[in-house]
Amino acid sequence: MLLDAIANAREREPLYETLSRRISYLIGRAESVSQREPGGSESWRKIMVLATLWIEAAEGTVTLGQFKQAREYLREAVLKLLDLAMPFGAALQRTLLIEDAELSRKAGHVMRVWGRYMMIPPPIEPESIPSDATELSAAARESPQQWAYFALATASADGRFPDLASKLVGMKSVPVGRLRLPLDNYQFIAELRSRPVAGPPPEIAAAEVIAKSLLGLYRSVQWARENRYLWARMLAPAPMIDFDTALLIARTLTVLGAGIVERVQSSIPEDAHVYAVEFIKAVRELRAEPEERLER
């Protein structure tokens, strides 16, 4: 369990109880928000709030090793993200919820809309955007972060990486996600083995990207623990699992196989080894098909 890799023996039981209560609060909050304005049209703000609440609930249950519940909560989040036509939702579906037919259809629609948008060379005039792309906000269409998720979702579906070179010129250092990794890291992982890459072998370079993300998460938790009051109440702003990192790991596992685990371990300090292994185990459990889970 991921919590065991972070908390010491004295902390585990009270943290388990506190985190369980927090998950219950997040679920109750999501259900309360979803009941507002029944039958009416939902604003994008409300949908985004719901997606965030469900993602946080899924993160908590993954930390506690409750993967069935985590997949249920993650599914709720992905549904909301796809309602907003966000490639982040498609990336999550195509890497962690692969067997879900309904989500797959919704993700396919979102990716087709974005694919047509991406093929239009900049600058893009509003009237030239396909009619079914009008649901996308201008902010989302011009977000390098969503382009990174679009690339991961496309690569996860058919192994191909979309050519976004013209859009990414001068943006490879743009920070993406909670850990503010450069967009170039996302591009590299999406692009694994789809075209020749200069520099170190893909296995080594991919392990370094994942190790950097995992170590950043692990260190943030260590720093959060310095404030014992906030840490004991799960109020410290330090996620124990992060779905951006999970996406990068899932893509790498698909392309390079389980051998990447040892390479990741060799790329990070020894004190973070157990956390890294447990995190990767959690990703493998989340993305497994039902038959695979039964075989274990």
Q: Is the pLDDT of residue 124 over 90?
A: no
Residue pLDDT, tens place only, 186-218: 888 888 866 555 666 788 889 999 999 999 999
Mean pLDDT (the chain, rounded): 83
Tokens 């908390």: give the residue. 7
- In this prediction, residues 244-254 reach a mean pLDDT of 92
**Distance from C-alpha of 146 to C-alpha of 148, rounded to nearest angstrom:** 5
pLDDT at position 193: 66
CB 174 within 8 A of CB 183: yes
What angle, 0 to 180 degrees and rounded to 10, lies between the N-to-C axes of helices 273-287 and 243-256? 80
Task: Over range 261-274, report the average pLDDT.
Answer: 92
Q: Which helix (H) or strand (E) holds 67?
A: helix 67-83
Residues with Cβ within 8 Å of residue 25, at least 6 apart in sequence: none
Between CA 151 and CA 163 the distance in angstroms is: 9
Residue 256 has pLDDT above 90, yes or no: no
Of 269 and 136, the one with more pLDDT: 269
CA nearest to 167, candidates 110, 124, 111? 124
The alpha carbon torsion through 180, 182, 183, 189 (nearest 10 deg) reads -100
Structure tokens at 211: 């190790």
Place of tokens 């996406």: 247
Task: Give the CA angle between residues 192, 194, 197 to the nearest 5°.
Answer: 65
- Number of domains within the chain: 1
Span of 115-124, 136-145, 283-292 with lowest mean pLDDT: 115-124
User: In the structure, what pLDDT confidence band is assigned to residue 133 with cuts at 50, 70 and 90?
Assistant: very low
For 111, the token pair is 């990716």
Pair 251, 190: CB distance under 8 Å? yes
Contact 227, 236 (CB under 8 A): yes
Backbone torsions φ then ψ of 200, nearest 5 degrees? -65, 160
What is the reported pLDDT for 258? 82
The domain of 124 spans 2-295
The amino acid at residue 140 is A
Name the phi and psi angles at 175, rounded to 5: -70, 140
Stretch 268-276: mean pLDDT, rounded?
Answer: 93
> Per mean pLDDT, which of 26-30, 157-161, 193-197 is the most reliable?
26-30
Q: Is the pLDDT at 295 greater than 50, yes or no?
A: no
Taking the C-alpha atoms of residue 149 and residue 285, their distance in angstroms, rounded to an integer, is 21
Torsion of CA 260, 152, 179, 196, to 10 degrees: 60
For residue 266, what are its two tokens? 């060799």
Of 173-177, 205-209, 265-269, minimum mean pLDDT range: 173-177
Q: Which residue has the higher pLDDT, 135 or 274?
A: 274
More confident residue, 282 or 193: 282
Are 193 and 255 within 8 A, CB to CB?
Answer: yes
Query: Which has more pLDDT, 162 or 168?
Result: 168
pLDDT category at 177 given cuts 50, 70, 90 is confident
* Residue 252 clears pLDDT 60, i.e. is over it: yes
Identify the H or E element spanning 182. Answer: strand 181-182
Q: Which of 154, 160, 147, 165 is nearest to 194 (CA)?
A: 160
The pLDDT score that the predictor gives to residue 203 is: 86
Residue 125: predicted pLDDT = 47
Can you give the pLDDT at residue 159?
Answer: 57
Query: Does the pLDDT of residue 134 top 90, yes or no?
Result: no
If you average pLDDT over residues 34-56, what whole number do you get?
79
